[in-house]
Amino acid sequence: MKILLIAPASGRWKKIGNSPIFNGKAFRFSLLSLLSVAAETPGDIEIKIIDEQVDDIPWEQKFDLVGITCMTALAERAYEISAGFRKRGIPVVLGGMHPSFCPEEAIHYAGAVVVGDAEGIWKKVIEDARLGRVKGIYKNEAPVDLKGLRHLKAKIWI
């Protein structure tokens, strides 16, 4: 199984002039959320992480599942990316701050939404993806104890 995890770009920052400060690589939030998702992924799954601010989305590659994280300022771009993969028949899961606060909106743009922390629920998303039934809103029923977080064991390629 191959999974693509994407952090969408803010076009306003990505396309500003030739300045080395505002070339799309300076203004960026941490990708810790995608790394945490990758760490929760079973080791037999290949993962590709794309920060669109730096890299182009590999539209031509085949993936079994696409996960997109976004905050409100990037929701529109996340929805555009989701539409592109869904047109190709690839299931898409949205997560992050905006989908967590607006899951009823986000679900219109993806097959599934993860509300809140991915830890504890991401394995269920993977299980459903393997069965071809990623659908709906996924949410932990109780707070997850983060003491036992695993180290990243999944294969990631860049």
Q: What residue spans define the domains of the chain?
A: 2-157
* 31-90 tens-digit pLDDT: 668 888 998 899 999 999 998 888 899 999 999 999 999 999 899 999 999 999 999 999
Q: Which CATH architecture has domain 2-157?
A: 3-Layer(aba) Sandwich (3.40)
- Beta carbons of 81 and 90 less than 8 angstroms apart: no
Q: Is the pLDDT of residue 26 over 50?
A: no
Q: Is the pLDDT of residue 22 over 90?
A: no
Q: Is the pLDDT of residue 29 over 70?
A: no
Higher pLDDT, 154 or 92: 92
- In the chain, % helix, strand, coil (3-state, to 5) comes to 35, 20, 45
One-letter amino acid identity for 33? S
* Helices and strands (DSSP H and E) totals, the chain: 6, 7
Q: Is the pLDDT of residue 20 over 80?
A: no
| Mean pLDDT of the chain, nearest integer | 84
- Beta carbons of 140 and 120 less than 8 angstroms apart: yes
Q: Alpha-carbon distance 149 to 103, whole Å? A: 25
- Beta carbons of 4 and 52 less than 8 angstroms apart: no
Kindly provide the b/e burial profile for residues 98-130, where b requires at least 16 CB atoms within 10 angstroms of the residue's own CB.
bbbeebeebbebbbbbbbbbbbbbbeebbebbe
User: Which residues are within 8 A (CB) of 76 and not within 5 positions of it... i.e. 6 or more apart?
Assistant: none
Q: Looking at residue 13, what DSSP letter applies? A: H
Kindly report whether the global pTM for this prediction surpasses the value 0.85: no
Alpha helices in the chain (DSSP H): 11-14, 32-39, 75-87, 97-101, 103-106, 122-130
